[in-house]
Amino acid sequence: MKPIQVGLIGIGTVGGGVFEVLRRNQEEIKRRAGRGIEVTMVSRRDQAKARAMVGEDAKVVADPRDIIRNPDIDIVVELIGGYTLARELVLEAIAAGKHVVTANKALLAVHGTEIFQAAHNKGVMVAFEAAVAGGIPIIKALREGLTANQIQWVAGIINGTTNFILSEMRDKGLDFDVVLKEAQRLGYAEADPTFDIEGVDAAHKATIMSAIAFGIPVQFDKAYVEGITKLGAADIKYAEQLGYRIKLLGITKRTDKGVELRVHPSLVPAQRLIANVEGAMNAVMVQGDAVGTTLYYGKGAGAEPTASAVVADLVDITRLHTADPQNRVPHLAFQPDALSNLPVLPMEEVVTSYYLRLRVADQAGVLAKLTGLLADANISIDAILQREADQVSGANQTDVIILTHDTREGNMNVVLKQMQGLPTVLAPIVRIRKEELA
C-alpha cells in the first residue's frame, strides 16, 4: 500500500526528533502501522536550516499553507507552537480534510473545544499525545487503557523545567535564578519561560487531562494557576524536616460539587514515588475506581521523547485512516454528544490541607493565639514546628510552621487574613497546599 504522506509544519526541536525517529525506525513502524509513514514536506522560515535537517528526503517550503494545500498530504503535523498562527493552520488543515497531529498544549487548552468540534464535523482526527507529559503515553492511558474506570483524580509533575529547578534548589541549595538559566541552557524551558515557572504550561496540560478524565470541555480559563517563583529555600528545607517534598503539581479531581482544576506548589509525603521524581522527569498519578492508583513516569520533554509520542499518533491515524469516523476513539475519550457540564470549581471551594509558615515575635501566647484562630474555624492541626529564635533589631523572632488537616480553601483564606492582622505576625504568611495522594 502507498505510504501515508506527512507534512511537518515546524521542524525545530520536536520536528527534528520526529524526522529522525521516523527515518531510523521506519521498517519497525511500517510493520506496526501496516503501511509506510513518510515525511514528504516540511516548513520553517529558515529554509536553509530545514534543508540541512532533511536533505533530499523531503520538500522544504517557506509557506506552511503549501503543505495544507497539497492533496497528496494525508496528515499535517503542527509543531510551531503558540496560539494564533497555529490555530489558523490547524483549522485550515482540518477544513482541507487532513488529519492533524500536534504537540501544542497551549493551543488545545485554549482553543481545544473549537478544534475538536471542527475535526468532528469534518470526520478527521486530531491527535495530541505529545501535548501532555512528552513521551509518557498518558493520553492513551486515560482515554483507552483506563476507559472502564470512573477516574477520581489525576495529579502530575507535568512540567520538567520547574521540577528540575525544585530538584536543584533542594539538592544543591542553588538559587532559583541560577537554576532557571541552566534549565534554559538545557532546552527544557518553553520559548517564554514564564509559562513554565508561573505554572501556565502545567495548567495547559492539566486542563487537557481534566477534559479527558471527566468528559468535560477544555476550560483553561477556569484553572487555578500558581507557579514556583515565590517559593523560598526555607520552605523547601522545612518541608523536608517534616517529611515532605515540594513539587509543582497539576491536579484535577472529581468531587460531589464539580471538578477541581489547579496547578500550584504542593507538599507531597517524601515516601510517595512521585515525591522522588527528580530533575526534568515527569510523572502522572491516576486514581480510578476499579484500577486503584496507577503511576506513569518518563521524559516529559526533549526531541526524541516528544517525537516518540508524535510518531505514535501518526501510527494510530495510519491504522484508523480508513475506519468509519463514528468508530474511532473520541478526541476527549467521551462521545462528543455525551460531554458533561460538571462545573470547574472556584479555588475557594477546593478542599485540601496546608503548610503555613509564619514569622512571629517570640513571645508568650503567640502560638496559642494562632492555634485558637484555627480552632475557631474548625481547622484541625496535623503538626507544628517552631524553630529556635533569632534576634532581629534586639527582639527575638522565630518561624512557626503549621501543617493542617483538610479544610475548604475559602475557610483557610479567612483565617489567614485574621492571622496576618495580628501584630505579632511580622511578615507575609507563606501558605503551600499539601496533598497526601493516598
* Interacting residues with ligand HSE (CB under 6 A): 134, 159-161, 188-190, 196, 201, 300-301
Element (H, E) at 320: helix 303-320
Least distance in angstroms from the C-beta of 12 to ligand HSE: 12
**Helices and strands in the chain: count of H runs, count of E runs:** 15, 18
Question: Which entry of ligand NDP, ligand HSE, none binds 198, CB below 5 to 8 A by partner kind?
Answer: none
Least distance in angstroms from the C-beta of 63 to ligand NDP: 8
Backbone φ and ψ for 258, nearest 5 degrees, come out as 160, -155
Rounded CA separation 258/302 (Å): 35
Q: Does 46 bind ligand NDP (CB under 6 A)?
A: yes
Rounded CA separation 391/394 (Å): 6
Instruction: Please pick, from the candidates 11, 180, 209, 261, the single residue that binds ligand NDP as defined by CB under 6 A.
Output: 11
Least distance in angstroms from the C-beta of 435 to ligand NDP: 24
Among candidates 280, 297, 58, 17, which has minimal Cα distance to 156? 297
Q: Does 204 bind ligand NDP (CB under 6 A)?
A: no
Name the residue with cell 492508583: 293
Per the annotation, the verdict on 205 as an active-site residue is: yes
Least distance in angstroms from the C-beta of 372 to ligand NDP: 48
Which residues on adjacent β-strands are paired with residue 352?
407
Q: Does 43 bind ligand NDP (CB under 6 A)?
A: yes
Least distance in angstroms from the C-beta of 282 to ligand NDP: 10
Q: Within 10 A of 168 (CB to CB), how many other CB atoms are there?
A: 20
- Catalytic residue, from 30, 98, 205, 222: name it: 205
Q: Which C-beta is closer to ligand NDP: that of 61 or that of 415?
A: 61
Q: Which C-beta is closer to ligand NDP: that of 68 or that of 345?
A: 68
Q: DSSP states of 387-435 as a string?
A: PPPEEETTEEEEEEEEEE--EEHHHHHHHHHHHHTSTTB-SPPEEEEE-
Instruction: Please pick, from the candidates 22, 39, 54, 79, the single residue that binds ligand NDP as defined by CB under 6 A.
Output: 79
Q: Which C-beta is closer to ligand HSE: that of 196 or that of 435?
A: 196
Which residues on adjacent β-strands are paired with residue 397?
361, 390
Q: Does 85 bind ligand NDP (CB under 6 A)?
A: yes
Question: Which entry of ligand NDP, ligand HSE, none binds 176, CB below 5 to 8 A by partner kind?
Answer: none
Q: Tell me the torsion sign for CA atoms 290, 296, 301, 307.
A: negative
Least distance in angstroms from the C-beta of 226 to ligand HSE: 17
In the chain, helix, strand, coil percent, each to 5? 40, 25, 35
Q: Does 58 bind ligand NDP (CB under 6 A)?
A: no
Name the residue with cell 516518540: 308
Site for ligand NDP in 104-163 (CB under 6 A): 104, 130, 134
User: Which cell numbers hold the place of 421?
Assistant: 492582622
Taking contact as CB under 6 A, which single stretch among the options 11-19, 151-159, 247-255, 415-423 is the one that binds ligand NDP?
11-19
Question: Which entry of ligand HSE, ligand NDP, none binds 80, CB below 5 to 8 A by partner kind?
Answer: ligand NDP
Q: Which C-beta is closer to ligand HSE: that of 184 or that of 386?
A: 184
Q: Which C-beta is closer to ligand HSE: that of 194 or that of 241?
A: 194
Instruction: Please pick, from the candidates 302, 313, 353, 404, the single residue that binds ligand NDP as defined by CB under 6 A.
Output: 302
Q: Angle at Cα 110 formed by Cα 104 and Cα 115, nearest 5°?
A: 75
Q: Which C-beta is closer to ligand NDP: that of 15 or that of 137?
A: 15
Rounded CA separation 90/117 (Å): 12
Nearest-CB residue to ligand NDP?
Answer: 12
Which residues on adjacent β-strands are paired with residue 245?
268
Rounded CA separation 338/69 (Å): 34
First-to-final CA distance of the chain = 50
**Catalytic annotation, residues:** 205
Can you give the binding site for ligand NDP, defined by CB under 6 A?
Answer: 10-15, 43-46, 49, 64, 79-81, 85, 103-104, 130, 134, 301-302, 306
